[in-house]
């Protein structure tokens, strides 16, 4: 099928490349002409494992092209994906300005060439947005508005797009469902067909529930620290119950990124709009907000205060295998450490230059051991492989004090203790 993907961020670009890999003719559309120029030069604007190589391959084979308008390469598209950003507005709601701008572009394209097309909203939007879009395009009789939320994890987004855990399709007509049946014919995944509003709520509910699991384990980790129990063993014992499962039971610094923080507050806003209190979700956000400060307090207690102490922070991106620092818990840690008067050195293999603009007072290291030099404590904030698999003898020799705080529970406590380190994990005695 001929497909246009409006927006070439994480969702849009991975969607475009995955559909091209499945044999569709895809045009990526972005209003940023400089970005489109970069893409046409086969330069990927985001860091995502395997994405740039796959993008170049699909461009070379003629399955993937880029343009800044629906008027050119994409004028014959049968499916129009909207994958634009819906950032958090000041009041906590989702800012839909980019989405409605894209909808207006779709309207203009339809007027120039009326034809049967599916308008697929893949952006994360409040419940009812698809119906609003359908109302705005109501006079474009052959356009079918469909909700088709994404479930991509940064760091494995391309694989998730190629092999989705499920495909959720929200539509109001048999014609709309048949368009996406044809598009996803080569995908082996369970398909959920429902209304647009239900599809939109599935997306928010999924992210809110995963965020809840994380904050629940972080609250238990605080209790575990006081009790002297091991939260990892607790998590394993819980996860073996088939009703619970092992995923997202890892205690740590909390969740970040472009989805969980934004989507949880947007869902809270939807609840308030409709007079429904989502009290559990309120507490989920509060635990996540305070978790970095709680972790820094443990370091402070171990060092008898942080003023003038050098702390090495290993990892700045919100998770490994991405350059995304949006809502990264590492940044909250940097902020708290600096407030407490610590001297902070930091290392990240990808995100250093971006963070440097936000926290110029931090000392940014060329490599991990440079960051560890003369440190009174080291904090693992992002579990990059190179941050997890250290040369412990070299690390200990570099540090002023052999004190480790494992903010992701990724280091082996038994191993580092063999090298003479003092170790503290999150909820690990």
Predicted confidence at residue 41, as pLDDT, reads 96
Give the integer Cα–Cα distance in Å for 205 and 199.
Answer: 10
For residue range 76-92, what is the model confidence (pLDDT) as tens digits? Answer: 999 999 999 998 888 88
Secondary structure (DSSP) of 340-362: TT-EEEEE-SSSHHHHHHH-TTS
Percent of the chain with pLDDT over 70: 100
Give the integer Cα–Cα distance in Å for 255 and 105.
Answer: 35
3-state helix/strand/coil string of 126-188: CCCHHHHHHHHCCCCCCEEEEECCCCCCCCCHHHHHHCCCCEEEECCCHHHHHHHHHHCCCCC
Predicted confidence at residue 429, as pLDDT, reads 67
Is the distance from CB of 421 to CB of 403 less than 8 angstroms? yes
Q: What mean pLDDT do residues 26-35 have? A: 95
Predicted confidence at residue 72, as pLDDT, reads 87
Percent of the chain with pLDDT over 90: 90
For residue range 379-429, what is the model confidence (pLDDT) as tens digits? Answer: 999 999 999 999 999 999 999 999 999 999 999 999 999 999 999 999 986
30, two tokens: 């972005």
Lowest model confidence (mean pLDDT) among 152-161, 231-240, 387-396, 400-409: 152-161
Predicted confidence at residue 90, as pLDDT, reads 85
Is the distance from CB of 76 to CB of 2 less than 8 angstroms? yes
Q: What mean pLDDT do residues 186-195 have? A: 95
Using pLDDT thresholds of 50, 70 and 90, give the confidence band for residue 208: very high
Which 8-state DSSP code applies to residue 185? Answer: T
Give the integer Cα–Cα distance in Å for 179 and 360.
Answer: 51
For residue range 39-55, what is the model confidence (pLDDT) as tens digits? Answer: 999 999 998 999 999 99
Using pLDDT thresholds of 50, 70 and 90, give the confidence band for residue 10: very high
Give the integer Cα–Cα distance in Å for 317 and 338.
Answer: 18
For residue range 101-122, what is the model confidence (pLDDT) as tens digits? Answer: 999 999 999 988 888 999 999 9
> Given a cut of 90, is residue 141 above it in pLDDT?
no
Give the integer Cα–Cα distance in Å for 200 and 148.
Answer: 8
Give the integer Cα–Cα distance in Å for 128 and 386.
Answer: 44
Using pLDDT thresholds of 50, 70 and 90, give the confidence band for residue 173: very high
Predicted confidence at residue 71, as pLDDT, reads 87
Predicted confidence at residue 300, as pLDDT, reads 97
Whole-prediction pTM value? 0.91
Kindly name the residue from 44, 83, 140, 259 that is annotated as catalytic: 259
Angle between helices 231-239 and 196-227 (to 10 degrees): 140
The residue among 402, 371, 364, 403 whose CA lies nearest residue 386 is 371
Predicted confidence at residue 113, as pLDDT, reads 85
Q: Name residue, tokens 């939260």.
A: 231
CA dihedral over 168, 170, 174, 178, signed as positive or negative: negative
Give the integer Cα–Cα distance in Å for 145 and 199.
Answer: 12
For residue 7, give Cα distances in angstroms to 81, 83, 154, 317, 326: 9, 5, 16, 23, 18
The domains of the chain, with CATH numbers, are 2-194 (3.40.50.720), 208-425 (3.40.50.720)
CA dihedral over 22, 24, 27, 30, signed as positive or negative: negative
Give me the chain's average pLDDT, please. 95
Report helix, strand and coil shares of the chain as percent, to nearest 5. 45, 15, 40
Using pLDDT thresholds of 50, 70 and 90, give the confidence band for residue 352: very high
259 is catalytic: yes
Backbone angles phi, psi at 180, to 5 degrees: -80, -25
Predicted confidence at residue 154, as pLDDT, reads 87
Is the distance from CB of 383 to CB of 318 less than 8 angstroms? no
């Amino acid at each position: 099928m001929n497909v246009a993907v409006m927006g070439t961020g994480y969702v849009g670009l991975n969607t475009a490349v995955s559909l091209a890999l499945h044999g569709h003719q895809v045009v990526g559309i972005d209003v940023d002409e400089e970005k489109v120029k970069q893409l046409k030069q086969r330069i990927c604007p985001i860091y995502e494992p395997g994405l740039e190589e796959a993008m170049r391959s699909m461009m070379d084979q003629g399955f993937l092209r880029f343009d800044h308008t629906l008027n050119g390469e994409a004028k014959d598209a049968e499916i129009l994906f909207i994958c634009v950003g819906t950032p958090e507005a000041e009041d906590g709601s989702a800012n839909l300005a980019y989405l409605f701008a894209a909808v207006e572009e779709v309207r203009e394209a339809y007027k120039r060439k009326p034809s049967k097309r599916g308008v697929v909203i893949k952006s994360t939007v409040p419940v009812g947005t698809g119906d609003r879009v359908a109302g705005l395009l109501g006079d474009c009789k052959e356009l079918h508005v469909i909700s088709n939320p994404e479930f991509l994890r940064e760091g494995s987004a391309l694989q998730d797009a190629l092999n989705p855990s499920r495909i959720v399709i929200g539509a109001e007509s048999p014609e709309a469902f048949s368009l996406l049946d044809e598009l996803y014919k080569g995908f082996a995944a369970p398909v959920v067909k429902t209304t647009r509003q239900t599809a939109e709520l599935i997306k928010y509910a999924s992210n809110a529930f995963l965020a809840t699991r994380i904050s629940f384990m972080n609250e238990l980790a605080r209790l575990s620290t006081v009790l002297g129990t091991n939260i990892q063993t607790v998590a394993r014992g819980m996860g073996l119950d088939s009703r619970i499962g092992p995923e997202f039971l890892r205690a740590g610094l909390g969740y970040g990124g472009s989805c969980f923080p934004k989507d949880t507050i947007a869902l809270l806003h939807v609840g308030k709009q409709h007079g429904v209190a989502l009290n559990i979700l309120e507490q989920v956000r509060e635990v996540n907000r305070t978790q970095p400060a709680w972790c820094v307090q443990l370091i402070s207690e171990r060092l008898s205060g942080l003023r003038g102490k050098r702390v090495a922070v290993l990892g700045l991106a919100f998770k490994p295998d991405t350059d995304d620092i949006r809502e990264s818990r590492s940044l909250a840690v940097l902020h708290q450490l600096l407030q407490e008067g610590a001297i902070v050195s930091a290392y990240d293999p990808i995100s250093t230059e971006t963070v440097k603009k936000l926290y110029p007072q931090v000392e940014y290291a060329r490599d991990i051991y440079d960051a560890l030099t003369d440190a009174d404590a080291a904090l693992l904030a992002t579990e990059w492989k190179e941050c997890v698999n250290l040369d412990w003898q070299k690390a200990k020799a570099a540090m002023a004090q052999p004190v480790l705080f494992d903010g992701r529970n990724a280091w082996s406590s038994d191993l580092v203790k063999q090298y003479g380190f003092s170790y503290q994990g999150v909820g690990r005695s």
